[in-house]
Structure 1
Amino acid sequence: MTLQADLAHAIMAARPRVVAALAAQLRDLDAAEEAFANAAASCLALAEPPRDVAAWLFVAAKRRALDAIRKARSEARTADALGEVSDMADILELPEPIPDERLRLLFICCHPALGPEVRAPLALKVICGLPTPAIARLFVVSEQAMFQRITRAKAKVREAGIAFELPPRKAWPERLGAVLLALELAFTAAYADAGGELSAALEEDLGAEVERLALLVAELLPQEPEALGLAALVLLARSRAGARLDGEGAMVPLSQQDVALWDYPRIAAARGLMDRAARLARSGPYQVMAAIQLTHARRAFDGAVDWGAVLRFYDVLLALRPSPMVALSRALALAQVEGAEAGLAALEALPAERLALARPYHVARADLLARAGRMDEAAAALDTALALAPPKAERLLLERRRAVLT
């Protein structure tokens, strides 16, 4: 890399932590993001890169934001309350100058005053730095609709005067569901990004960051079985990271992965979290999802997947958290137990119009149609999936499947 490219990489790597710290101090999500963008542009224009890029960005961004606030007479008292910024040299000499505020900001984005439909998208945008198009794909909505949703959520935080403080522990449970959902969706985006394109764009390993946050939530809430379940789910999925790509960079389906490449300490840690959750005797969807992934992980020890167990878990999950995507996964498990035609019948019962933009739906149809011998229909389904712009690793896999059907 060139010196300028190295600096750009360091700036993007610092973004989540710096934006979170700025938001906590400025108490304005838009102001934090704008201040960071301005500071980043200034940093790139420096003759020499700063010794501590993150610290420089934090101080420069905060100074600019406070200057802007002081110029607005209506917000003068807010600016005074924030206090004076320490001298740049003093801050740069601190061993840990920027507080890691991401967990606090995660709970703020999941405040009950915000509608359930905006909490997770806001957290994904502000904390994880996910681009709006990626968030829109997670929620299967248009980019414009998601942009408007996030914009309204930021305005709501500002207008409702939501406190930028970590709520007292007694208030955590009412926000926990939204916090876990935000982490789940962030990890869904990271997991779909097998080739690392999204993480490269963010200059951060998104999967590793979600794992860190999920484990932190589980540590802070050891009596919340669903927090333990999500942490286990993330660990199990992360345990397969080393086996998800072949030598050409194409995604390797779970059933074809080399189990010798799996991370067994992560599997063991996940099993420990699941055992702790089970002792609390309060089951929930994240524990069921983790159980499904653990059943797949047992292939490393048993040599095969117990698809009957997987199907039963999906039946439970569908009852706990009904959704078209859960029903889709159940249909694939059903096909393993009862055959492709049974799986196709289950897929046909799903609301196709709601899944028109959901690439996994078209990939699942293509797989089951091919297994049923309906090659032309399978090829058409793959064409639809490829038209929905899959990441490179998935695209290579789908193109191989499509070539076989030609």
Structure 2
Amino acid sequence: MKGLEEAVRAAGARIVAALAMRFRDLDLAEEAFADAYARAAEAWTDGAAPADPAAWLYRVAERRAVDRLRRARVRGRLAPEPPEPAPTAEDAMTDETRLIPDDRLRLIFVCCHPAVAPETRAALTLRLVCGLATDVIARAFLVPEATLAQRLVRAKRKIREAGVPFEVPGPEAWPDRLDAVLSTLEIAYAKAHEDAAGSGPHAGYAREMLDLSRLLAELLPREPEALAFAALVRFAESRRPARLDPGGAMVPLAEQDPGLWHRALIEEADPYMRRALALASPSPRVIQAAIHGVWCARASLADPAPWPAVLALYDVLLRHRDDAVVRLNRAVALAEVAGVAPALAEIERLDAPGLDAFLPYHAARADLLRRAGRTTEAAEAYDQALALGPNAAERAWLGRRRAGLG
């Protein structure tokens, strides 16, 4: 049912977060929301969807959670501690600026508690807070779905057994969690950013990350990493209006018309960027945000693309974080500054687990092979990229380049 799916996509993860905060039980929150979804599938016949679908789902899920707790008490099982007084469902779902974003941020901190295994923190957050399906998360982390499902079960049990408080911790606990929190938000935003058209199931994460990054920057006004992430999201989102051509194909960053970018978002990002740079020596997240900022300083297509500055920043980033993704992005900039041959040599030397399943690797390699005149190899690389299931905008762009080889 279209209306139900749209409501779940728009508010499902926020409802689960609000339920988790209300009942202090991650499994109960997910199970109650699943009950509400099933009830909606029966009740929301054509033309009968409620005026406020999110409030309806929250109210039904809340009642199902209470019913489950009552049945547990009847059977003599230990019930959770009584929750703190909470706003009504109507308050919760109609005043999102006050309750729901804060609940989601608190739940992110819960999922990133040191009691949870480091390799599971981001996955648990993506499942509970962002609503990503287990199979999608498993593919992102290159692990079998069954393995990831077991990790999630163990993580939720660990949170329950350790008595992790459902709240944003005090400043003394931030160093143990901030990196995991930011890493998770970065992955969630990457899912939204890779969808240039903004029409896929994860498109709503872009708006969410704008809100959550602002909240995190307000909570941690002197943390350069949090400020840099807030800047990065705004720089990247400012370019969304120019990311598609009239035919729906992706437009590479260097070819985007800066006149179409959202200048208001860039103006929001600049103060975050300045504060991050002023607070500490550059860290990987600060440098990555600065790369986005360099691009967003471009005023029009008549201005030269800032490839030399981008390459210089990637050189600095390599000293802080030397991995295959950074080297791949650096190679793209190197091709524009030093030529295709050295860039292609850099890419051919890359060797990392999972690289064969990494679409940007095949796309970048295909483009450099094309520019080097190695048409047959370029065609094979484009075919490998297309076989990895890119979204519609990427597929249109890759297909166009592939067809242009003749």
1:93/1:276 CA distance change after superposition, 3 Å:
closer
Partner of 2:42: 45
Alignment of 1:273-352 (within 5 A): 273-300=272-299, 303-351=303-351
Task: Report if the CA contact (8 A) 1:111-1:175 is conserved.
Answer: yes
1:322/1:151 CA distance change after superposition, 3 Å:
farther
Partner of 1:138: 140
| 2:404 aligned counterpart, secondary structure | helix
Q: Which moved more, 1:217-226 or 1:147-156?
A: 147-156
1:94 deviates by 7.8
Identity, in percent, stands at 49
Q: Return the letter of the residue paired with 1:253.
A: P
Partner of 1:238: 237
Q: Which moved more, 1:30-39 or 1:348-357?
A: 348-357
1:307 deviates by 1.9
Task: Report if the CA contact (8 A) 2:324-2:352 is conserved.
Answer: no
Alignment of 1:154-173 (within 5 A): 154-173=156-175
In structure 2, distance between residues paired with 1:85 and 1:219 = 24
1:138 deviates by 3.4
Task: Report if the CA contact (8 A) 1:63-1:85 is conserved.
Answer: no
Task: Report if the CA contact (8 A) 2:214-2:230 is conserved.
Answer: yes
1:56 deviates by 2.5
1:79 deviates by 4.8
Aligned residues: 397
Please tell me whether residue 18 in structure 1 is matched to residue 36 in structure 2: no
1:322 deviates by 2.4
Partner of 2:114: 112
Please tell me whether residue 217 in structure 1 is matched to residue 211 in structure 2: no
Partner of 1:189: 191
1:376 deviates by 0.6
1:400 deviates by 0.5
Please tell me whether residue 33 in structure 1 is matched to residue 34 in structure 2: no
Q: Which runs of 5+ in 2 are unaligned?
A: none
In structure 2, distance between residues paired with 1:182 and 1:315 = 25
Q: Return the letter of the residue paired with 1:112.
A: P
Q: Return the letter of the residue paired with 2:152.
A: I
1:103 deviates by 0.8
Q: Return the letter of the residue paired with 1:270.
A: A
For the aligned residues, what is the CA RMSD? 2.5
1:220/1:75 CA distance change after superposition, 3 Å:
farther
Q: Which moved more, 1:15-24 or 1:38-47?
A: 38-47
Task: Report if the CA contact (8 A) 2:106-2:167 is conserved.
Answer: yes
Q: Return the letter of the residue paired with 1:348.
A: E
In structure 1, distance between residues paired with 2:7 and 2:25 = 24
Q: Which moved more, 1:42-51 or 1:122-131?
A: 42-51
In structure 1, distance between residues paired with 2:76 and 2:346 = 57
Q: Return the letter of the residue paired with 1:390.
A: P
Partner of 1:252: 251
| 1:223 aligned counterpart, secondary structure | coil
Please tell me whether residue 122 in structure 1 is matched to residue 121 in structure 2: no
Task: Report if the CA contact (8 A) 1:70-1:79 is conserved.
Answer: no
Q: Which runs of 5+ in 1 are unaligned?
A: none
Q: Return the letter of the residue paired with 1:370.
A: R
1:11/1:309 CA distance change after superposition, 3 Å:
closer
In structure 2, distance between residues paired with 1:261 and 1:134 = 32
In structure 2, distance between residues paired with 1:180 and 1:189 = 14
Q: Return the letter of the residue paired with 1:241.
A: R
How far does the alpha carbon of each residue in 1:4-44 deviate from its partner, in whole angstroms, 9 at most, with x for none? 63344234322122100111222222221121111122123
Alignment of 1:51-70 (within 5 A): 51-70=51-70
In structure 2, distance between residues paired with 1:305 and 1:273 = 23
| 2:182 aligned counterpart, secondary structure | helix
| 1:16 aligned counterpart, secondary structure | helix
Q: Return the letter of the residue paired with 2:306.
A: D
1:365 deviates by 0.8
How far does the alpha carbon of each residue in 1:81-104 deviate from its partner, in whole angstroms, 9 at most, with x for none? 248999xxx754888477311010
Partner of 2:395: 395
How far does the alpha carbon of each residue in 1:77-135 deviate from its partner, in whole angstroms, 9 at most, with x for none? 5257248999xxx7548884773110100111111111221111211111111233433
**Normalising by the residue count of structure 2, what TM-score does the alignment of the two structures yield?**
0.90
1:371/1:93 CA distance change after superposition, 3 Å:
closer
Q: Which moved more, 1:18-27 or 1:128-137?
A: 128-137
Partner of 1:9: 6
In structure 2, distance between residues paired with 1:29 and 1:121 = 14
In structure 2, distance between residues paired with 1:246 and 1:171 = 46
**Normalising by the residue count of structure 1, what TM-score does the alignment of the two structures yield?**
0.90
1:145/1:391 CA distance change after superposition, 3 Å:
farther
Q: Which moved more, 1:394-403 or 1:107-116?
A: 107-116
